[in-house]
Amino acid sequence: MTFLHTSLLAAGLACIAIPIIIHLLMNRRRKPVMWGAMRFLQEAFRRTRRRLLLEKYLLLAARCLLVALVALALARPLVGALGASGSQGRTFYLLIDNSLASGATDDAGRSALDRHKAAAREALGALSADGGDRVAVIALGAPAEALVLPPAHDPGAVAAVIDAIAPTAARADFAGAMALVAGSLRPEGAAPSTDAAAPPRADRAVVLMLSDFLEGSADLGPDSGAPGASFAGVRLPRGVTLIASEPAARGVSNVSVVGVEPLRSVVLGGAQPGEARAGEQVRVSLRRSGPGIDAPLATTVRALLAAPGSADSAAAESRTVVRWNPGQETATTAIALPPTPAAMHGGGGAVITVSIDRDALSADNTWRRPVEVRDSLRVGVIAPTRFGRAGGVDRLDAAAWIRIALAPRAESAQSGGEIEVVNIEPASIDSARLAGMDAVFLPRPDLLAEGAWARVRLFVDNGGLAVVFPPPGVSVHLWGDAFAAAMQPGWTPARQAIELAPRGGAGARLVAPTGAPSARGSAPARLLSLIEGELEELLRPVGVWRALPIEGSAAQSGETLLALPDGSPALWAGPIGVREAAPADGALAADTSARGVLAYFAVALDLEWTDLPTKPLAVPLLNELALQGVGRARGASWAIAGARPNVGRRVAELARIHEPDQPPQSAEVVAIDAEGLAREAVRAAGLWASRDERGTRRALLAVNPDPVAGRAGAQPRDAVGAWLAGAVERADDTAAPGATSAVVWLPTGAAAPGGAEPRAIAAALRDALGAGAPRSPISLPLLACALAVALLEMLLARWASHASLVTSAAPAGGAPLATIGGAA
């Protein structure tokens, strides 16, 4: 037998000592005082001594039993049905929705999460009062988190856990929660029970789901009623009782920021020291949902560029207004950032913060995007230095064309450009020299030794950009072996160049692929996105006569920015560290935890190969490749709440950056595993700093609200019921998919947006569980027994006192004669 309140039991049992102490004090030995009639009393005491002792001990036992019964009743013993101590009570799994959608507020300013927590507390009290129940608590904010599991008997501790549940910016993970419940009911490796008399644990399990089941919380999907399709194939065993709060009858009108894409992730400073550069353009994507979607609306969008964690309320911000038409769900607008303050120049991280007007669901009204603020980029050109005058245009080598394209103003002695070009000799490559570069261009890769390739690989691993060109004047390209071994791009350059067109003719044309998918998936924009609108026009006059193509599956490990006439990559960009996947499919898998970008141009910048260096495309092509490539190479700067951020292998931990008006979160530091992934999911939106093993900050990471979780439209009860019914195994899984008999709904009054009375929730829960379920209400009988013992103690005390009042005939004085114990 166990007790619900063991502390009350211990205190009550200790109180049994009170009547014992009183008994001992009343029976202390006293010094006898002899007087004349003493011997007659002693003789009477000897005759009645045994009876008096029996009376005293009976009275003491009654008083101790009374205190023990009261203590047992207050401690609420947990026994099985019908008082059998070997039986089990029910096990309740409370699934509480703390996803982003649970932050929606009603007219009174009360959030849905507050209502869910209040309902859970009242349900907890109602369930625990029956005596034999255990309770588990699972928070649904993705990924689902087991707050109390295995189930516990202590309702006080469980209530404290419920009160501490905080909202998240992630979607609701019903599938993960059901997996936790299924794992608790059917532990892995547990042997099946052979006791036919004992019911399966599933028969006494109740899953109580508290959610409004808005579109952002419950993704019903097209096959929501199919068995096992609702929760990623997770099925609860037959016999589990599903109880759910009524879905919200009406959603909330919500406008969400679902994406912020700066045209460049590296913001460059002004041309002169102390000058504020004009703001960069930012593309903002919005979406609205809920009942207000059919009405016109105006939304103010604000953009701010500031240092991370800055509390400067006077910082300049840009504004624009988005006007919605009736029925319009999505909108995209461009907004220019305020001029970059001169104080931010010189290198460092900054954060673009885009916000909109507050609405009923304010958690998705802000989106953060870290960027780097730099005076200029340092780009190294690894090629032999040529002394003397270069002569005519036809005498310029590939390295010279690259320098001219990257810094076209350098020849006119103008300083302060966006890109600073540094010449590096192939024989003098070292890690310290490369560490000061943002990108390197390699027009002569045939001059690099194996050790130099290893240092270039380390440079890219640390977040650098490397752009490789085939060397002109080489008939057999043996350098490709060392290049592929060190960089591991998932492909190798061909050994010999191919002729695309006769020399002296118009030359073959390069092609700009349209809608080519990126293997990186999470990359928000293509490297040449700023010039894509003009790319077709700029490519028209460019001719190509020779190329060194890629051999291998380059399309599966990166993206093709420009293509040769046969569709093979002419300009490829992607990650390094690509390895062979399972031998069964022979596919290539990119090591996405690696930072850095490798780009390969299959055409040498030599007039024997192409006339691109002399065409207008050369300058914007190489500039955008450098500017956007450096931003991409720094690694992912943002992640979605509910995921494990991928920050790279050289990061040891993520540390939270506290921002003004941000509520405190439980996790302040998140460790990073050997693959570069956070060891735990980050569920709340905010800013983080990645730090290496020495504690040095490497980069900023913004965790933003899940765009899917912000959909605030209501869903029909029948559709939600069919979706939930698929979580429980049925005797006949071929039954109609829409059957909802497996779900018991709490009445509408218990799940109303305004909340419900505690008694209504408790009564609704008892009705849902059914009145015929076996219970163990023995606290009340114990109190009744204590009352009976108290009456018995009164009678025993009266009997043991030997006191009576007898009234006889009055003597001469007229006063009645009182007798004690029957003697005159």
Are residues 543 and 412 located together in one domain of the fold?
A: yes
Higher pLDDT, 742 or 93: 93
Judge whether 621 and 686 are in contact, CB under 8 Å: no
- Non-local (6+) Cβ contacts of 117 within 8 A are 96, 162, 163, 165
CA 304 → CA 321, 370, 631, 634, distances in Å?
A: 15, 11, 19, 22
In a domain, 10, yes or no: yes
Higher pLDDT, 99 or 44: 99
In a domain, 810, yes or no: no
Residue 226, burial from CB neighbour count under 10 angstroms (0-12, 13-18, 19+):
middle
In a domain, 193, yes or no: yes
CA 786 → CA 85, 156, 230, distances in Å?
A: 21, 26, 53
CATH number at residue 238: 3.40.50.410
Are residues 119 and 178 located together in one domain of the fold?
A: yes
Residue 739 reports pLDDT greater than 60: no
Least confident interval from 288-297, 337-346, 640-649, 696-705: 337-346
> Which of 152-156, 371-375, 679-683 is modeled with the greatest confidence?
679-683
Residue 467 reports pLDDT greater than 90: yes
Residue 273 reports pLDDT greater than 90: no
What is the distance, to the nearest Å, from the Cα of residue 110 to the centroid of all Cα atoms in its chain?
23
pLDDT band of residue 583 (cuts 50, 70, 90) is very low
Q: Provide the 10 A C-beta neighbour count for residue 495.
A: 13
In a domain, 86, yes or no: no
Are residues 477 and 591 located together in one domain of the fold?
A: yes
- Non-local (6+) Cβ contacts of 642 within 8 A are 141, 142, 143, 168, 169, 170, 171, 173, 681, 682, 683, 706
- Non-local (6+) Cβ contacts of 216 within 8 A are 99, 100, 101, 171, 172, 289, 706, 708, 709, 710, 711, 712
Pick from 598, 633, 668: which residue ends a domain? 633
Residue 336 reports pLDDT greater than 70: yes
Are residues 204 and 262 located together in one domain of the fold?
A: no
pLDDT tens per residue, range 624-671? 899 888 888 876 688 999 999 888 777 889 999 887 666 555 568 889
Regarding pTM above 0.75, the answer is: no
pLDDT band of residue 16 (cuts 50, 70, 90) is confident
Name the packing angle between helices 112-128 and 758-769 (round to 10°).
60
In a domain, 329, yes or no: yes
Amino acid 609 reads W
Are residues 647 and 764 located together in one domain of the fold?
A: no
Query: How far is residue 697's CA from residue 791's CA, in Å, rounded to a whole number?
Result: 76
**Angle in degrees, CA 104, 110, 111, rounded to 5:** 30
In a domain, 815, yes or no: no
Are residues 612 and 747 located together in one domain of the fold?
A: no
Judge whether 458 and 432 are in contact, CB under 8 Å: no
Q: What percent of the chain is helix, strand and coil (3-state, nearest 5)?
A: 30, 25, 45
Residue 185 reports pLDDT greater than 80: yes
pLDDT tens per residue, range 382-426? 999 876 555 566 778 999 999 999 987 654 433 446 789 999 999
Residue 510 reports pLDDT greater than 90: yes
The pLDDT score that the predictor gives to residue 632 is 82
**Angle in degrees, CA 370, 350, 369, rounded to 5:** 20
Are residues 396 and 520 located together in one domain of the fold?
A: yes
Pick from 710, 725, 748: which residue ends a domain? 710
The number of domains in the chain is 4
pLDDT tens per residue, range 761-783? 666 676 666 543 444 446 678 88
Query: How far is residue 7's CA from residue 76's CA, in Å, rounded to a whole number?
Result: 11
- State which residues form the domain around 610: 377-633
Amino acid 104 reads A
Are residues 229 and 364 located together in one domain of the fold?
A: no
Least confident interval from 393-397, 434-438, 545-549, 705-709: 393-397
126: tokens are 């109602």
Are residues 434 and 576 located together in one domain of the fold?
A: yes
The pLDDT score that the predictor gives to residue 289 is 93
Peptide bond into 758 cis (omega under 30): no
Are residues 117 and 230 located together in one domain of the fold?
A: yes
Pick from 614, 633, 652: which residue ends a domain? 633
What is the distance, to the nearest Å, from the Cα of residue 260 to the centroid of all Cα atoms in its chain?
20
Give Dmax (Cα) for the chain.
Answer: 159
The pLDDT score that the predictor gives to residue 162 is 94
pLDDT band of residue 612 (cuts 50, 70, 90) is very high
Are residues 450 and 582 located together in one domain of the fold?
A: yes
CATH number at residue 654: 2.60.40.150
Q: How many residues does the chain have?
A: 824
In a domain, 272, yes or no: yes
Q: Which of 59, 35, 52, 30 is nearest to 821 (CA)?
A: 52
In a domain, 820, yes or no: no
Residue 580, burial from CB neighbour count under 10 angstroms (0-12, 13-18, 19+):
exposed
Least confident interval from 13-17, 307-311, 721-725, 751-755: 751-755
Average pLDDT value for the chain = 78
- Non-local (6+) Cβ contacts of 363 within 8 A are 100, 103, 167, 169, 685, 705, 710
Q: Which backbone phi and psi does 484 adopt, to 5 degrees? A: -65, -35
Residue 188 reports pLDDT greater than 70: no
Are residues 557 and 456 located together in one domain of the fold?
A: yes
Q: Kindly give the pairing relationship between strand 349-356 and strand 579-580.
A: unpaired
Average pLDDT score over residue span 241-255: 90
CATH number at residue 437: 3.40.50.880
Q: Which of 326, 138, 360 is nearest to 248 (CA)?
A: 360
Average pLDDT score over residue span 521-541: 75
